Amino acid sequence: FAKGDPAKGKSLSATCSACHGADGNSSNPEWPKLAGQGEGYLAKQLNDYRSGARVNAVMSAQAGLIASDEDVEHLAAYFASQKTTAGAGDKDKVEEGRLIYKGGKVSAKITACAACHGPTGVGNDAAKFPRLAGQHTTYLLAQLKAFRSGERANDAGKMMRNIASKMSDTDMDAIVEYVSGL
Ligand code: HEM
Ligand code: HEM
């Protein structure tokens, strides 16, 4: 996937940078890092905000201001081309997080996250599976809870809603610590 022009995306990114950081590494942990995220995944999220498939007060408004489908591709290409900074999580802190990420949790019927998000958390953009490595723990936890409550419902085939519905708060706390530290 490489549709957009990163240079054009950079020239469009000034308003985004206020929250997501000039290089896509946000400082506020409630705002996701976009740096190093898959281009196809980023474009899908922007289009989901534009169509209303994903709803967030701030981002629905922001995405609505993007002038064209081409500009979506350029913005996605720019942030995808940036390098993710290290996350705040500690992958060695919570063993339970590593176990669930790598092997799932059979007793709760949670499948391994690594199957889709990759053994090192970098995702698989051909399938639009997002990168999780280095992402803010606060943002990751908010998304898992939003999938669990159904507030976020833009995952094709309910892949994430099904998994999150089987996770306890303790499972989520452990996993986000692990993946943010990858
Ligand atoms: C989420 C892009 C402007 C705050 C996102 C996501 C993308 C994105 C792709 C989803 C990330 C993911 O799923 O991992 C952009 C672009 C912008 C822009 C291209 C400029 C055109 C802003 C601004 C703010 C902001 C100005 C703050 C005022 C947020 C927040 C979320 C988010 C809070 C999480 C929303 C949620 O939970 O659904 N943004 N953003 N963004 N962005 Fe932006
Ligand atoms: C999205 C975590 C397992 C497929 C996400 C997001 C998180 C996450 C935090 C949102 C990322 C963001 O907003 O930037 C996890 C965890 C898992 C897990 C902790 C294990 C417990 C899986 C599995 C699959 C999968 C097994 C595939 C069958 C996806 C997809 C999305 C996603 C397709 C993007 C949905 C969309 O388009 O909005 N995951 N995931 N995940 N995950 Fe997972």
Contacts of 116 (CB under 8 A, 6+ apart): 124, 127, 129, 159
Q: How far apart are CA 180 and CA 27, in angstroms?
A: 14
Instruction: State residue 2's pLDDT score.
Output: 65
Cα of 117 to ligand 2 centre, how many Å?
7
Cα of 14 to ligand 1 centre, how many Å?
13
For the chain, 182 residues long, the average pLDDT of each consecutive 10-residue run is 89 97 97 98 98 97 96 98 92 89 95 97 97 98 98 96 97 96 94
Q: Which two tokens stand for residue 37?
A: 């995220």
Task: Decide if domain 95-180 falls under CATH 1.10.760.10.
Answer: yes
DSSP secondary-structure letter at 33? P
Q: How far apart are CA 73 and CA 26, in angstroms?
A: 20
Q: The complex's ipTM?
A: 0.98
Q: For the chain, what are the domain ranges? A: 6-80, 95-180
46 lines ligand 2 (CB under 6 A): no
Q: Which CATH superfamily is domain 6-80 in?
A: Cytochrome c-like domain (1.10.760.10)
Does 6-80 match 95-180 in CATH topology? yes
Question: Which ligand 1 atom lies nearest to the CA of residue 63?
Answer: 21
Instruction: State residue 93's pLDDT score.
Output: 82
Report in angstroms the alpha-carbon separations of 108 from 41, 115, 122, 153, 171.
28, 17, 25, 22, 10
